[in-house]
Amino acid sequence: MSYLEETFGLSGKTVLVTGASRGIGQTAATGFAKAGAEVYILSRSKAAETVCIIEALGGKAYALTGDVTSETDVEAAIQEIFDRSGRLDVVFNNAGICIHEDTFSASIDDFRRVLDVNLTGELIVARAAAKRMIAHGIHGSIINMASMSGTIVNIPQWQASYNASKAGVIHLTRSLAVEWAPYGIRVNSLSPGYIATPMSVDTPQELKDAWMPLIPLHRMGEPEELLPALLYLASPASGYTSGSDVIVDGAYTCL
């Protein structure tokens, strides 16, 4: 095994990705599999396409059905992973939603739903995974999906609920990193900028036209451009990195 494979590879590791039926989650799950990991995908609907992609590459992948906001669903999914594979080394908390509405138009129920999925859901998954990692003596890595929206306020669209949820994810990550450090569990977050996923591609053109001049690299990122950061955070390469928020945004947050 080469130095790069040993340092950045995931051979023999088991990884859970939430919300991996398309977009960043699907790209991440495929990338983890290419790095040698056995991959589990937790989503509300079976992620058959992602599983097929990974299996076509010769990898191992399994789809689990569940809602990240349900403690019952998540506990059952994590238990199934341990029953089948005997371990869980990496969690990528990717599932999330966004509502583009100004604060007067959006309902309080909308606000609660966004926080429930994006913030509370990540805590539910991280806690269930960490509890079993500790019980099995696994020094795992938990990667929470944050966003540059946790650092800046997006314009011209209004999305206070999303921005607040992602700011919460960043500080939740720091809090868990310190709390779980004695158990050898590392917790970090990833903060992408505008990425060309199906969700972003379907965004009205007038919004994308407004974004481009604000991105110093003058383009949206590709999901594959997040993989190096994800592999770093998931692998032994980041053994001394915990509580960090890795921003991949084309320098947007520098302005």
Could you give the residue numbers annotated as active site? 147, 162, 166
Contacts of 100 (CB under 8 A, 6+ apart): 157, 158, 159
Contacts of 112 (CB under 8 A, 6+ apart): none
List the strands of the sheet with 186-192, edge to edge: 61-65, 38-43, 14-18, 90-93, 141-145, 186-192, 245-248
User: Maximum distance among all alpha carbons in the chain?
Assistant: 57
Separation between Cα atoms, residue 170 and residue 147, nearest integer Å = 9
Separation between Cα atoms, residue 66 and residue 51, nearest integer Å = 16
Look up residue 109 and give its two tokens.
């129920």
Cα–Cα–Cα angle for 238, 92, 149, rounded to 5 degrees: 90
Separation between Cα atoms, residue 152 and residue 148, nearest integer Å = 6
- State the alpha helices, DSSP H only, in the chain: 3-8, 23-34, 48-56, 71-85, 108-115, 121-135, 160-180, 198-201, 205-211, 227-234
Amino acid letter, residue 221 = G
